[in-house]
Amino acid sequence: MTDKPLHWKRWIVLALTAVGVAITFSLGLWQLGRASEKTALQDARTAQSRKEMLDGRTLKGSSEDVLQRSELLYRRMVVTGRWLPNYTVYLDNRQMNAKPGFFVLTPLQIDGSGEVLVVQRGWAQRSFTDRTALPPVQTAEGLVQVQGHLAPWPSRLYDFGGAETGPIRQNLDLTAYRQETGLKVLEVTLLQSGESSEGLLREWPVVASGVEKHHGYAFQWFGLSGLIALLYVWFQIVQPRRQKRPV
């Protein structure tokens, strides 16, 4: 009768060990899956950027063409049009070469189609003495030709809520910007490339895929899974057998 409780305790320990090993091992596999997904996404972006350059007039503004525009993301593109400088926005707290400043965004009305495409023109350093001062940025008049990569709408940084107005903003909401300007702005942008000009730098940071992070997490989960199994073997099999050996 005295061995029966111990018998059930061993089964409980075995069950908990199996669950722990299964969960941690599956989490490791999930992290490897996430790494594979991000690797595939990065490869797709690289393949897109190597394709032939497109003419910006191919961008159609109808809602039915949203899918087509999404399929063109990261493609090289040359766009001819006219700047609309009155609607320029300076996204605050953006960094380039580890320095704080603004990403300068100006809508461009595409020649020949009339569609409006926001161009992420580059980065400008902010004033350290006057946070409301705008950096000196030159904007050409008349027809201009801009080259770059088609990119998603700018990512959001943390904000404190509420609608933002004025040229300096933390984020740029697409719906609010359309209502504010009255322009039919496309939901994609052009990340302008080329040498520094017009008071702007264009040394855009390479987007990290984060694959190394997922591999690190996977290693940790697999290591924990192995540790759980090892502890079970040591305390439930090896140690009891060593204790039963005759002295």
Q: Tell which phi-psi region holds residue 182, choosing left (phi > 0), alpha (psi between -120 and 50) or beta.
A: left
Looking at the whole model, is its pTM more than 0.95?
A: no
Chain segment 165-189, per-residue pLDDT in tens: 889 999 999 999 999 999 989 999 9
Chain segment 11-47, per-residue pLDDT in tens: 888 899 999 999 999 999 999 998 888 777 777 777 8
| Integer Cα distance of 215 and 217 in angstroms | 5
pLDDT band at 79; cut points 50, 70, 90? very high
